[in-house]
Amino acid sequence: MSHSSPRTPMALAAIAGLAALLGACRANPVATTGSLYPVDYRARHPIALTEGVRTLDVFVTGTGHLDPRQAADVDAFLLEFRRYGRGTLVLDLPGGIAPAQGAAVERTAAALRRMGADGGVPGRQIVISHYAVANPNLASPLRLSFQRMEAKVASQCGTWPQDLGVGDAPFNGRNETYWNFGCASQSNFAAQVADPVDLVRARPEGRIDTIRRTNDIGKIRDGKDPSIEWRQDGKTSVKSQVSQ
């Protein structure tokens, strides 16, 4: 009959320490390399698709008609609404102005509604509202607005968390780009995108020119060059024009 010796507290502590050491050897250490924030400006300042509001201020003339410049602006604005607009087209009229100006505002609003009807925007799709004029002495335009998808930079530009001078030695030693780097370029690129969906997927191919394709295939079968002949000032040599 064997008797087991009792486990003393010192022995238990030794066993626990050995188990901890073995566990530490088997654990995978977490390695942290690189910067604590993304270095690529596209990751720091990503372009996101958001809901935005497009507006156009139409100023009132003395007679209440639209001059050629404003008529062209309204026509382009209506075209953008038909292509990308969501919901209704809102027409805000200034309120609290002098009665003499009120008649010109009404004539301008009527001209905008006529342009909308001629441009494919029926009257039921235009919502009339009013806004309070803060200063009657200043120009009080009529404001057209609608909602559409826009491409914008998700982060805020103009943020400088690090000192670019000698005051932040650790940052200068890492030789990394500053946080605001690329934000303005990303914002300008997002503002130039006509259709934000183009950033997500490509557009489908358009219809082919059947007549042109048939003529080109016929020229190839006959051993002729299907390319278009380039002409300028009676000369067909592109090289002679480029070398000048």
More confident residue, 172 or 178: 178
Question: CA 117, CA 102: separation in Å to the nearest integer?
Answer: 23
**Joined tokens for residue 62:** 């003395």
Q: Report yes or no on whether pTM surpasses 0.85.
A: no
CB atoms within 10 A of CB 49: 16
DSSP 107: H
DSSP 61: -
Domain spans of the chain?
A: 48-151
Q: Which amino acid is it at 58?
A: V
| H-only helix segments in 85-209 | 99-118, 169-174, 183-192
Vertex 72, ends 98 and 74: CA angle to 5°? 55
Vertex 204, ends 200 and 209: CA angle to 5°? 155
One CATH from 3.30.1330.60, 3.40.50.720, 1.10.1040.10, 2.70.70.10 for 48-151: 3.30.1330.60
| Placement of tokens 């780009």 in the chain | 177
More confident residue, 50 or 173: 50
Read off φ and ψ for residue 137, nearest 5 degrees: -75, -15
Local confidence band at 142 (pLDDT 50, 70, 90 cut-offs): very high
State CA 232 to chain mean position distance.
Answer: 40
Q: What is the pLDDT of residues 191-233, one digit of tens each?
A: 999 899 999 999 888 888 899 999 999 999 999 888 887 666 6
Q: What is the pLDDT of residues 15-52, one digit of tens each?
A: 666 666 555 555 555 555 555 667 888 998 999 999 99
* Residue 16, C-beta contacts closer than 8 angstroms, at least 6 positions apart: none
Read off φ and ψ for residue 149, nearest 5 degrees: -75, 140
| H-only helix segments in 27-90 | 41-44, 68-84
